[in-house]
Structures are given as structure tokens and as C-alpha cells.
Copies of this chain bind each other. A is one copy, B any other.
Amino acid sequence: MGGLHLDVKYKVICEEIAKNIREGLYQDTKKLPTEEELIEQFEVSRNTIRKAIDLLTRKGLVIPIQGSGVFLRSVSMDGAINLEDFHGLTHGFGENHVTTKVNSFKLIEADEKLAQVMQCEKGTPVYFIERLRSVAGVPYVVEYSYYNRELIPYLSEEIVKGSIYKYIREELKKSIGFVDRVITAGILNEHDARELGLTPGEPSLISTNRAFLKSGVIFDYSIDIHNYKETKFLKLSNYL
């Protein structure tokens, strides 16, 4: 799940509690055990428990209220993309439900404009991929992606058919550090409309993304044209 270093205590505990939440373990009280109880349960310090809860909070699963407890944040996330906890479509919807049609897969050289947004040299070899991704058989998003080959040295039709992010994490063992996402609405052109089973001129929900490795370099630039009838972005924020 992105962080990958699951050997870290607070992340393990976070995952464990998240699993408990999914399985409905806290449904009677609608809140987590107290910090004190979790400390005993996991045999770690208070700081570590608090870091785990902080992670759960940032993912939008719980909301701590001083003096009262850590409450489940019951929001229906089904069929929505949680912007706080997004690691690719397959991770969110399950590998079985997501099917991918590869419309284009080629190696190109970055022109001036692409080089600028990807913060690389002009002429850098870049994989260009166009994919139509469907969820449960329904066209969901047309993705236009660019991957810097100097950072992602090998991609194949096979990999591109599945989850590229999963490949980067699990095979290349590279850690994704952070992502910039700009969300807008636009008008479908003929090509994208046809792919999505919609009509040109209808709206689209667009996400333009730049993904960075932990070292701070951009390895992926992509433009996602979403089916506006199917896509919901979820943003669960806490006041800072």
C-alpha cells in the first residue's frame, strides 16, 4: 500500500485496525478502543498508537474527539475514489473488477512542453500509454500516461494491461513519495466519448497528475478523463 515499509510498527497497527474496521469489529460502539486499551493490546508506547490513529485519521477512516474517543467516520466510500488513500484503480476497486484495454503503448521522446511538466531534459525517452479502464464492465476512465524511462526502465504490454503502480511498487521496489493532482471538468471530445460510451459534448471529470518518487523526481505524468456518470472523488478533510 505505497508506504511498503510495513515492518514499521505504527503502519502495521494502522493496517490491523483498518482491517478490524472493515470487518465491523467496532460497529457496536462506533468507536475504537481507548488509547490505553490499544497500548495493552499491541504492547507498544502511546506515541506509536497515536501515530497509527493519526494515519487512520488522514485516510479518513476515523475522527478523534478530545475527551470522548476515536469515532468511526462512516462515509460510504463504495464506488468512490478516496483522494486520501488512492494507490491506483486496482487497489481501490479490486483486481478482478478492473479491466484494462491498451489503446496505445509506445516509446517517445519528450518534447519541450512535456519535458517541462515532467521536469526532465528535452529528448528524454518516455513511455506513452493510452488505456481505457473499466470497472465491473462499465467504462470508467481514459488514461493518457507518460512514464520517464530513465526512472522506470522497463514496461511491457503485459504490465501495462494490469496495474502499473503495483508493478513499480512490487517488482521495481520503488517507493512512490507524493502526487500532485489537479481536478477539473471538461467537455468530451469524440474519441474519449466513444471510448467511454458517452456522447461528444457531454461533461468529463478530469484529473491531471504528477507522481514523484520519494527522491523527489517525477516518474509519471498522466491525464485521466473520467466517466462523469460513474466517478466520484471523495475528500475527507480535518481542519488543520
- Please state if B2 and A215 are interface contacts (CB–CB under 8 Å): no
**Minimum distance in angstroms from A224 CB to a CB of chain B:** 12
B179–A237 touching, CB < 8 Å = yes
**A233 part of interface (Cβ distance < 8 Å):** yes
Contact of A232 among B184, B215, B235 (CB under 8 A): B184
Residues of chain A from 85 to 132 with CB closer than 8 A to chain B in the complex: 85-87
Q: How large is the interface on A (under 10, 10 to 19, 20 to 34, 35 or more residues)?
A: 35 or more
Is A136 close to B, CB under 8 A? no
The answer to whether B55 touches A232, judged by C-beta atoms less than 8 angstroms apart, is: no
Quick check: is A148 within 8 A (CB to CB) of the other chain?
no
Chain B nearest CB from A229 CB (Å) reads: 9
Q: In this complex, which of A59, A86, A204, A237 has the most chain B Cβ atoms within 10 angstroms of its Cβ?
A: A237
Scan A166-205; emit 1 where CB is below 8 A from any B CB, else 0.
0000000001111111111111000000000000011111
Asked if residues A65 and B240 are in contact (CB atoms below 8 Å), the reply is no
Cβ contact of A237, chosen from B83, B216, B239, cutoff 8 A: B83
Contact indicator A239/B187 (Cβ below 8 Å): no
Known: A58-B58, A65-B214, A235-B235. A240 touches B85 (CB 8 A): yes
12 A–B pairs (Cβ distance < 8 Å), ordered by A: A66-B214, A71-B216, A86-B237, A177-B239, A178-B238, A179-B239, A182-B234, A183-B232, A185-B204, A185-B231, A187-B203, A203-B203
Residues of A within 8 A of B (CB): 1-3, 55, 58-59, 63, 65-66, 71, 73, 75, 80, 83-87, 175-187, 201-205, 212, 214-216, 226, 228, 231-240
